[in-house]
A and B are shown apart, each in its own frame.
Chain A
Amino acid sequence: MTSLDHAAAHSQARKGRLLATPAGLYIVLFFIVPLLIILAYSFATRTATGRTELSGWNLESYDKLFTGLVMRTVWRSFWMAAVTTVMCLIVAYPFAYYLATRAAKVRNVLLVLVMIPFWTNGLIRIFAIRFMLGSDGPISQASESLGFGEFRILFTPTAVVLGMLYSFLTFMILPLYVAIERMDWKLVEAARDLYADGFTAFRKVTLPLTKSGIIAGSILVFVPSFGSYVVPEILGGAKTLLLGSYIARQFGQARNFPFGAALSVVLIVAMLIAVVINQRTEASEL
């Protein structure tokens, strides 16, 4: 490399760093620093009145993680997030497929339609769903007029899953749409030319080629579902305590900041491990 090339590369790198500075500062200030504060709090002491003292560092809060209550809450959160993810996938895949195979004009209109709900505050949309699922709501009324009697979904796990499905569906549709849209359709044609039926072609060609979209969408849906707070608070009942609400309660009613912080730390670490494992396996497959 000539010295001129070298200098050019150097200045390019410097420009890159300069451009990344605002984002970097933002991440340090509003992401890394808060995380470190959470980490520090998780080792702090809770006094006899519930105040948190940042001294006498200990592992007591981590000890409390392995109780039946925490395990049950984690398990419940896990399977509800898993059900939500699978349901999102089932609903989103055909739609994304349809979307990706339309003419550009139709596709743009449909994409706007997917985005429109985001123009309304999420909380208000969840309250609208609360009304829909209530014993006075349209679903219950329809069931009543058909002679099945009052039908309340509100305050059940089903209501929470439906609410999360609704809230996070877009996060599944968009990555799937991108993956399907940029797929090489000639490969599907080739499969059909080789006498694969529609289903086989889908299973052997389309599905593997859109796997990246499925995984990205699943992570985008699973992660917020697992720590979801607003939806279970509003649509859930006495039997749907989820991890997000449980953590929030430690910082409010229960006044146990160290324990809430320890729960958050473990949640973050678990998610990180899952994402890293996923990236590793993906990289090794390529």
Chain B
Amino acid sequence: MKYRFVAGLSAMVIVAAACGGGDSESSGGAAECEVGETDGDLAFYNWTDYMAPELLEQFEEEYGVKVEYTQYDSNEQMLAQVDAGGAIYDLVVPSDYMLDTMIQEELVMPLNFDAIPNAKNIASEWQSPPFDPENKYHVAYQWGTTGIGISIDALEAMGNPEPTWGFIFDPELSSQIPGGVSMLDDSNEAFAAALKYLGYSIDEVMTSGNEEAIREAGELLKQTTPNLVKFDSVTFGDDLVNGEVGAAHGWSGGFALSFLEADAYDRDVYVIPKEGGVRWVDTMAIPANAAHPCTAHTMINFLTDAENGGALTNYIYYASPNEAATPFILPEILEDPGIYPPPEVMAQLEFVPQAGELQLLMQDLFSEAKG
């Protein structure tokens, strides 16, 4: 009797779970929203330390809705949440390659650009990118680069060499860095860095499905793990300025913010390795199952406003794709080569494309490398 009850229950659960998994809403047409229309409170899911709090307050005041703001520290974590449908978000901020995945899996809805007149503020170089060629699903949020933050002491200890990914991957160099090295806890970024160090073009490897190169990079990561202090995508900048690590793989703005807060510009520096680095752009997109798509459109329009775009960059220290915002951005940010790299450095940077079949392999090899 008891056993039959448990068996029945488990059957029920399996059915319920199957139903839950099956009904991910297919993306229909763009939402019918007017400019400035709101249809309820906004569930906003964004990266950690990636928003000026006063902008959220201002939005709440202006439109009379609440913003439930939650944060994630990797694209995959956000994807798992949106995909599982456990929590319904109205607005998310996937990076380039992740937006590609979400479009393919029909997890984001096409935007109604009539409700986002400020989208014209985005500079033309950020319109129609390879991950969303028709520019249907996103508005660019912020962009930046991935490189290495390093203490000036560590650079001197190594005899001031030209910046290289070898700071992480070459044991002879990394062992000279007092405090050790940390690496981003992010499979795409880790592989991009390893591939660059090995001399590959990231784009070529990913688009041609070069599994061998990925395995070679995975092996390099595995050999490097014992020499690392830790994997971290959240406190990499703070750990560097606090001296917990001597060098850290990380994102441009994260370092800039930590340097600024700790007044560490004379102790630490952000460099882009000579082998070339990674450039990326994060995008605002609306999940297909969003409950309040009109409020989300209004928020996108609000954040893409010239003045608000400037306030955003002035707070988080990442570069803005918003051309109209330039006059509102602090000159010290516009002149910082760590945030807006000079053209010759820009030319060496690559986007990490959606890796298709290789994506899972990279995730699995990265898990293995970290074990």
A237 contacts B230, CB within 8 Å? yes
Q: How far is the CA of A260 from the CA of B254 in the complex (A)?
A: 31
Bitwise, B336-367 to A at CB < 8 A (1) or not (0) is: 00000000000000000000010110011011
Q: How far is the CA of A246 from the CA of B74 in the complex (A)?
A: 16
Once A40-B13, A49-B105 are accepted as A-B contacts, the answer to whether A134 and B244 lie under 8 Å apart by CB is yes
Interface residues on A, range: 35 or more
By a CB distance below 8 angstroms, the chain B residues around A236 are: 230
* Chain A positions 136-195 with a Cβ under 8 Å from a chain B Cβ: 136, 152, 154-155
B136 within 8 A of A: no
**Interface SS of chain B:** helix
A54 contacts B18, CB within 8 Å? yes
Write the nearest CB–CB distance from B168 to chain A, whole angstroms.
12
A269 within 8 A of B: no
Bitwise, A122-134 to B at CB < 8 A (1) or not (0) is: 0000000000001
A49 contacts B359, CB within 8 Å? yes
Q: How far is the CA of A29 from the CA of B226 in the complex (A)?
A: 43
Q: How far is the CA of A267 from the CA of B15 in the complex (A)?
A: 25
B229 contacts A254, CB within 8 Å? no
> Which chain B residue has the least Cβ–Cβ distance from A53?
B21
Bitwise, B92-122 to A at CB < 8 A (1) or not (0) is: 0000000001001100000000000000000
Interface residues on B, range: 35 or more
B371 contacts A238, CB within 8 Å? no
A37 within 8 A of B: yes
The one of A49, A254, A255 that contacts B104, using a Cβ cutoff of 8 Å: A49
> Which chain A residue has the least Cβ–Cβ distance from B228?
A238
Q: How far is the CA of A151 from the CA of B360 in the complex (A)?
A: 39
The one of A55, A152, A155, A255 that contacts B76, using a Cβ cutoff of 8 Å: A255
A-B contact count (CB 8 A): 105
Q: How far is the CA of A140 from the CA of B370 in the complex (A)?
A: 28
Write the nearest CB–CB distance from A144 to chain B, whole angstroms.
12
B225 contacts A238, CB within 8 Å? yes
By a CB distance below 8 angstroms, the chain B residues around A36 are: 9-10, 13-14
A39 within 8 A of B: yes
Q: How far is the CA of A53 from the CA of B225 in the complex (A)?
A: 33
Write the nearest CB–CB distance from A40 to chain B, whole angstroms.
5
Bitwise, A228-240 to B at CB < 8 A (1) or not (0) is: 0000000011110
The one of B230, B244, B368, B370 that contacts A135, using a Cβ cutoff of 8 Å: B244
B17 contacts A41, CB within 8 Å? yes
B225 contacts A37, CB within 8 Å? no
B370 contacts A252, CB within 8 Å? no
B105 contacts A51, CB within 8 Å? yes
Count chain A CB atoms within 10 A of each CB in B6, B179, B243 and give the residue with the most: B243
A254 contacts B364, CB within 8 Å? yes
* Chain B positions 4-24 with a Cβ under 8 Å from a chain A Cβ: 6, 9-10, 13-14, 17-18, 21-22
A223 within 8 A of B: no
A54 contacts B14, CB within 8 Å? yes
* Chain A positions 20-79 with a Cβ under 8 Å from a chain B Cβ: 28, 32-33, 36-37, 39-41, 46, 48-55, 69, 72-73
A interface residues (Cβ-Cβ under 8 A, vs B): 28, 32-33, 36-37, 39-41, 46, 48-55, 69, 72-73, 134-136, 152, 154-155, 236-239, 241, 246, 249, 251-256
**17 A/B residue pairs, CB under 8 Å, sorted by A:** A32-B6, A32-B9, A40-B17, A48-B360, A49-B360, A52-B21, A69-B368, A69-B371, A135-B244, A136-B243, A155-B230, A238-B183, A238-B231, A252-B77, A253-B74, A253-B77, A255-B79
